[in-house]
Amino acid sequence: MSNYQLPDLKYDYGDLEPIITAEMLEIHHNKHHRAYVTKLNEALEEYHEAEKKKDAEKMVELQSAIKFNGGGHINHSIFWQILAPIKDGGGALKKEYSVYKAIEKDFGSFEIFKELLNSKSTVVQGSGWGWLGFSRQNKSLVIQTCQNHDLLSARGIFPIFCIDVWEHAYYLKYKNVRAEYIKEIWKILNWQEIENRYKKIIT
């Protein structure tokens, strides 16, 4: 039987301040992400029961809950890893990183890339995610957005890093101003981890 767990963070709830307050991070991780894990486990358990009973109708019915909560769990698990406290190198991007060089090559400049990812993430309708991904087909970096908790990997694109643009990610501090939160989050991106993820996909 599947039993997914809420992953621990590598930093404390207060460590991403002032960009993300301790209260915001605790609610986001310990309430929102935990709820996705709980609901994913529940849906999978029901699914296994339905499978035993050969209840195809029930199995189909459960798929949207599995997709939504499973996607929520997977995407948040990436998101926590690609953030880091400023004191631990959050926001520090080195020009010798291969991901930096690839960004310059594929988007023209880092500034153009940042502008593009920010603007596309800002206009996601409702809830969703902004992504830097790697297209296996084109062997290049791409900026994408997803609705709800849809997976980037379902499009054949490897997720390198993401920005959670659900209101629950920013509302407590940034209120309705999603663009301001997106602008600020660059200060706590874990570029070492982003570099590791990029290298893993290209090698």
Contact positions vs Mn ion (CB under 5 A): 164, 166, 169
Would you say the C-alpha torsion 155, 157, 163, 169 has a positive or negative sign? positive
Residues 6+ positions from 153 with CB-CB distance below 8 Å? 159
The Cα 120–Cα 187 span in angstroms is 19
For the bound state, the minimum distance from the C-beta of residue 62 to Mn ion, rounded and expressed in Å, comes to: 22
For the bound state, the minimum distance from the C-beta of residue 70 to Mn ion, rounded and expressed in Å, comes to: 14
For the bound state, the minimum distance from the C-beta of residue 37 to Mn ion, rounded and expressed in Å, comes to: 13
Nearer to Mn ion, 35 or 86 (CB): 35
Q: Sheet holding 128-135: strands in order across?
A: 140-147, 128-135, 157-164
Nearer to Mn ion, 80 or 134 (CB): 80
Nearer to Mn ion, 72 or 133 (CB): 72
Of residues 121, 182, 176, 110, the one with CA closest to residue 152: 121
Other Cβ atoms closer than 10 A to 192? 17
Question: Measured at CB, which residue is nearest to Mn ion?
Answer: 164
Nearer to Mn ion, 59 or 151 (CB): 151
For the bound state, the minimum distance from the C-beta of residue 33 to Mn ion, rounded and expressed in Å, comes to: 7
